[in-house]
Amino acid sequence: MADANFLCLLLLLSHLTLGFSARTSASLLFVSPLRSASNTSAFSSNDLRDAFLALAIAARHVNARSNVVVKEAASLPRPFQLNVSFLQTSFSPLLIARDILSWSQPPDAIVANLDTFELEAACSLTAPSGLSVMSYSAKLKSFADKALFPFLSRTSLTLEFDALAAATILKQYAFSSILALYQDSPEGNEFAAGLKLLQEPGVMVEALPVSLPPDASLMASIASSPASVILLYSSSSDLLELLLALADAHQLLSDRTWVLAGEVDPEVLVGGMKNPPAARQLLAGWLWIREAPLTGREGLMLKMWEDANASAAAVGLEPSFSSSPSILAAFAYDAVWAMAFGLAGSTGGGRELADETRKREFAGLTGEVRFVNQTGDRALLGFDFEVGQLLVSSSGLLIYEVVATWSVTRGLLKTKDVFPPAPGSTEDAQTPPPLVPAPRGTSLSKTLLLVIIIVPSLLFLLTCCCCGAIFVYWRRSQLEEELDSELKRAMAEVREALRIRAEDGFFLARERSLLVRSWRRRKVEGTLSLSQLVAISSLFCMRDFDPRAVDLLGTFLRDVDARSRSREQEESWGNMDLAKPLTEEGSRMLLLLHLIVNVCVKLLDPTHSFSIWMDLPDKEEGQRLGGGDGRGSGRRTKGALSNLVDDDFEFRFQYFREKLLQLRMWRDYPRMFALLQEELKEHMDYLAASCTSRYHDMQSLPHGLKLVALPEISWGPAGIHTQDHSEVGAIRVDEAAREEMRYQQESQLGRQVEGGHVLEEDLFLSQLHSRANLLDQEFQRRVFELVASHASASPSLQHHSHLASGSSSAGSRSGIFVDCDFEDGRSVVEVCSAPVKRKERMREKLEDYAEDGKTWPLTRHILDPVRSSIVCEGPSQMLEVLGWVTGSSSMHPLMPLVRVKNKFAVEEVEDGYRDIQVCVVFSSSSSSLRIIGEIQIHDRKIHDQKVKMQMHKLYKIRRTDSPDGVK
């Protein structure tokens, strides 16, 4: 019997071990049609076939760990393999539903190319089982709604961004007025919405939907528009048929520039029309703006495509394939790799697999593949667009010549200065005439030919090269002159701190003049990139900067250091000792990492004002940047502020999270984040100790022991505890909401946190946030009136119009100082109105309530959506102000007491901060709306240390294992 029990225990332990180990294999289903639906699909049959082949190639590359394209292939666990299957379907929601419902064994994940309705059907049927779907063709923004599509991600861009890119490109061509024609459809309407995102002064964008058949007012609307360029978006040939008919009737305007936008190949559109030759002549001379993710990576695509013959048999296709594969194939290839990384790094499905997939980054066939974790959408940085001129070749087919490229980071780069004035231009792309060999002649004729033609040509070419070099030199000098004085000063300071000055052997391109080098006899260690230097200097000045440029600078410095390091040292760089002294012999990369950590520490210290000075580390400072106390003691340089960063801690933390944490250095050098945590711990311990010292001092002041003796938590007599109470109604819970809650529980939706489970409560969060925005102005005014009723003189509101007029600000707000009469004499009281609690912060609080075991809906327990603070001197005044607030129920019957939380009653507080928090029911005097709000009573000496605003964010950084936990 004992042996049997031991065997059962052994089997149970082995089962648990296997359950929590990483996958060794995963089943992946590829779903795609192989034929396009006529006049409805954005892709040709060849495009769909190429994409299907790319899926098979990617799966073979994953299993073979091939780094032909994805250099991070080696990071996949060695035993992990993809088991792929293929489902060739058609564009039909019913057929998709039939196929999914007929599965005997569902796959671990799906990579799909489906139209809008088919993808919606697939996601609706697979979401209850937590099945992740990766799309490489979904374009509508609606798929970013994670309440409807919680496990959908995509490697393709949205139509909204395609439209914004097209409008931005036309704006950079100096068009001040743009008319967009689009077919009245979900895709067309989303494209029009994207155009309206262009917020540029002096640029007018008008979007005109075209219903088929058109009404008589269409041409009148086009004719009356002041636009000089007409942008056409259509995923089918119907709109082009209309324009062709107008051209045949001589009703098409010829004084406008015409542009085609979208990923649909014009030749595909023309192929579905009644008169293709006439349609080609109509499009001749137009410009075509399209996604071009392969810009600079065409060679990688063709090298990858060499594997197509071996992969064709896996999907049942003929060995022949396109010599120039489509862009859709590139998106498909990256989709497989993205899903492979997610599957290999997770043990289950649902939210875990979706989060793991979205947090991975890799250099794919379409460039840097990153996802926005909240939506699963493809991040926009590093993506290219092409501007091509459509021409009719001598063989009668539409071709296009690239005349410009554009990206978010690089802007517009013209390769040819062309913009045709009207549609229907007949300029063909003619092939050059054949070269006719010259007749044989005497040696004299050859000499004359050499002297008369070849020598002048070479001289002309040499002159052009010299002029080009002069222009490049002039342009670089001009770019440096455009930098403002603050940034120039920061660049000089940063170069000195990182030891990358000219005297150290590091030159900008302008500084590497041969004449200068020969005159000064300097050794050249490397050439600095101006864009990288501007990026790190902008980071130092707390301006907007390009994280990729800073990472590239880090790679450059690492390569420089590697030349003087042994192989063993090089292999241990990922865990380099960042606590080593910063000496002249230290690593330049190490100096860069310390500089970034120092900036982060200053940024996260609210007692440090960036509008005054910012510290730059001295090279001789010792083990940590900023000295031993963690608050900096180096040389000082004036810091220039951008609109993103000021002395408001909320904005500073947002800048840290959304800009600084985007640097790849945090992942490449784990000790860097650990050092930041150590620096923050010193700062937090210092603040907590300061607050605790004040707490002990207060007990010796008058009424100090009475303050400490008050109960930690006491509830009001009305019995109102939550926002959904019938006397409050700030959130409303009906039977439909309860049914949704039960459905989420049965489908295992939501997210698991330590000690509990959090369901989606966006409905209740929106209700509470909306009610808070409506009543915040009046709540702040009521609190001020409460304090003003005890004033010794009438306070002035002339500098605080946000209370006088009721306007609300999203940022932090300054206080109003009121002279009040207390029992121990007159004293100044400060009334501070806080902004409405953000939805994101409310959502974070739900996790805390789940860990405490509170009941659903968790949103009902948020008692501080509107907040106001009263700051006074010492325990005596705090108790008197508490009496004002708790006694206000008789003076102001619309503010009954809900709860009093006294943090002075607790001997030990984690962050050291103590105050009194009074929650009351606030009722509007102009309506029947009510909400529970919070009035905080602070001791001035503790409040002025700005502890409360930052501690919960700093603890979030301290408790996480990596920067991803902060983001």
**pLDDT of 169-208, one tens digit each?**
888 887 878 888 888 788 888 888 888 777 677 778 888 8
Torsion angle, CA of 417/422/426/428, rounded to 10 degrees?
20
Same domain, residue pair 173 and 141:
no
Residue 42: how many other CB atoms lie within 10 Å = 19
Does residue 502 fall inside a structural domain? yes
Does residue 452 fall inside a structural domain? no
* Residue whose pair of structure tokens reads 């309506």 in the numeric block: 927
Same domain, residue pair 252 and 315:
no
pLDDT score recorded for residue 328: 84
Same domain, residue pair 718 and 661:
no
Residue type, 515: L
pLDDT score recorded for residue 249: 66
Helix (H) or strand (E) holding 652: helix 649-658
CATH number, domain with residue 111: 3.40.50.2300
pLDDT higher than 50, residue 115? yes
The boundaries of the domain holding residue 575 are 482-685
Residue 242's nearest CA partner among 225, 219, 267 is 219
Res. 460 pLDDT band, cuts 50 70 90: confident
Mean pLDDT: which of 212-216, 365-369, 637-641, 796-800 is highest?
Answer: 365-369
Same domain, residue pair 721 and 866:
yes
Least confident piece of the model among 234-248, 329-343, 590-604, 753-767: 234-248
Res. 650 pLDDT band, cuts 50 70 90: confident
Residue 658's nearest CA partner among 545, 549, 762 is 545
Does residue 333 fall inside a structural domain? yes
Same domain, residue pair 808 and 910:
yes
pLDDT score recorded for residue 789: 86
Stronger pLDDT, 583 or 200, i.e. the higher one = 200
Query: Rounded to whole angstroms, how far apart are CA atoms 166 and 388?
Result: 12
Q: What is the mean pLDDT of residues 913-918?
A: 92
Query: Rounded to whole angstroms, how far apart are CA atoms 652 and 660?
Result: 11
3-state secondary structure of 445: helix
Of all residues in the chain, what percent carry a pLDDT higher than 70?
A: 72
Same domain, residue pair 26 and 78:
yes
Res. 418 pLDDT band, cuts 50 70 90: low
Stronger pLDDT, 425 or 247, i.e. the higher one = 247
Q: What tokens does 755 get?
A: 């000690």
Instruction: Please state, in angstroms and as integers, the Cα–Cα distance from residue 894 to each residue in 789, 831, 832, 900, following that order.
Output: 16, 20, 21, 17
Q: What is the mean pLDDT of residues 657-672?
A: 86
Does residue 450 fall inside a structural domain? no
Mean pLDDT, rounded, of the chain = 75
Query: Rounded to whole angstroms, how far apart are CA atoms 453 and 4?
Result: 100
Least confident piece of the model among 151-160, 317-326, 740-749: 317-326
Total domain count for the chain? 4
Query: Rounded to whole angstroms, how far apart are CA atoms 114 and 128?
Result: 19
Is residue 32 packed enough to be buried (19+ CB in 10 Å), middle (13-18) or exposed (0-12)?
A: buried
pLDDT score recorded for residue 722: 93
Residue 665's nearest CA partner among 777, 535, 837, 849 is 535
Q: Are 840 and 905 in contact (CB under 8 A)?
A: no
How many residues make up the chain in this entry? 967
Same domain, residue pair 707 and 628:
no
Stronger pLDDT, 185 or 345, i.e. the higher one = 345
pLDDT score recorded for residue 303: 65
Interstrand relation of 177-183 and 362-364 (parallel, antiparallel or unpaired): unpaired
Q: What angle do CA 833, 838, 841 make, to 5 degrees?
A: 115
Phi then psi for 847, rounded to 5 degrees? -65, -40
Concatenating the DSSP letter of every residue in 763-783 gives: HHHHHHHHHHHHHHHHHHHHH
Res. 629 pLDDT band, cuts 50 70 90: very low
pLDDT score recorded for residue 425: 38
pLDDT score recorded for residue 817: 85
Least confident piece of the model among 68-77, 286-295, 396-405, 412-421: 412-421
DSSP 639: P
Instruction: Please state, in angstroms and as integers, the Cα–Cα distance from residue 541 to each residue in 182, 600, 638, 676, 699, following that order.
Output: 44, 12, 8, 19, 43
pLDDT higher than 60, residue 434? no
Q: Decide which of 637, 660, 685 is a domain's last residue.
A: 685
Same domain, residue pair 816 and 862:
yes
pLDDT higher than 90, residue 938? yes
Does residue 601 fall inside a structural domain? yes
Q: Are 170 and 219 in contact (CB under 8 A)?
A: no
Does residue 465 fall inside a structural domain? no
Q: What tokens does 728 get?
A: 């409050």
Does residue 194 fall inside a structural domain? yes
Mean pLDDT: which of 98-102, 341-345, 605-609, 633-637 is highest?
Answer: 341-345
Same domain, residue pair 805 and 886:
yes
Q: What is the mean pLDDT of residues 509-534?
A: 64
pLDDT higher than 50, residue 245? yes
Q: Are 21 and 76 in contact (CB under 8 A)?
A: no
Per-residue model confidence as pLDDT tens digits over 249-278 = 666 666 678 888 877 778 777 877 788 888
Least confident piece of the model among 498-502, 521-525, 530-534, 596-600: 521-525
Res. 516 pLDDT band, cuts 50 70 90: very low
Q: What tokens does 673 get?
A: 């984040």
Q: What is the mean pLDDT of residues 806-816?
A: 47
Cβ neighbours of residue 296 under 8 Å, at least 6 residues apart?
A: 384
pLDDT score recorded for residue 3: 46
Query: Rounded to whole angstroms, how far apart are CA atoms 702 and 202?
Result: 65
Does residue 705 fall inside a structural domain? yes
The pTM is what? 0.45
Is residue 178 packed enough to be buried (19+ CB in 10 Å), middle (13-18) or exposed (0-12)?
A: buried
Compute the chain's Rg from CA coordinates.
33
Tell me how far the alpha carbon of residue 191 is from its chain's centroid: 21
pLDDT score recorded for residue 452: 67
Res. 228 pLDDT band, cuts 50 70 90: confident
Beta strands in 779-929 (DSSP E): 815-822, 825-833, 867-872, 897-902, 916-923
Least confident piece of the model among 339-343, 371-375, 599-603: 371-375
pLDDT higher than 90, residue 730? yes
Q: What tokens does 688 get?
A: 């907590």
Stronger pLDDT, 240 or 765, i.e. the higher one = 765
480-506 burial, b if ≥16 CB within 10 A, otherwise e? eeebeebbebbbebbbebbbbbbebeb
DSSP 451: I
646-664 burial, b if ≥16 CB within 10 A, otherwise e? beebbbbbebbbebbbbbe
Least confident piece of the model among 354-363, 440-449, 739-748, 930-939: 440-449
Same domain, residue pair 821 and 720:
yes
Same domain, residue pair 619 and 720:
no
pLDDT score recorded for residue 890: 46
Same domain, residue pair 235 and 334:
no
pLDDT score recorded for residue 756: 76
Stronger pLDDT, 646 or 110, i.e. the higher one = 110
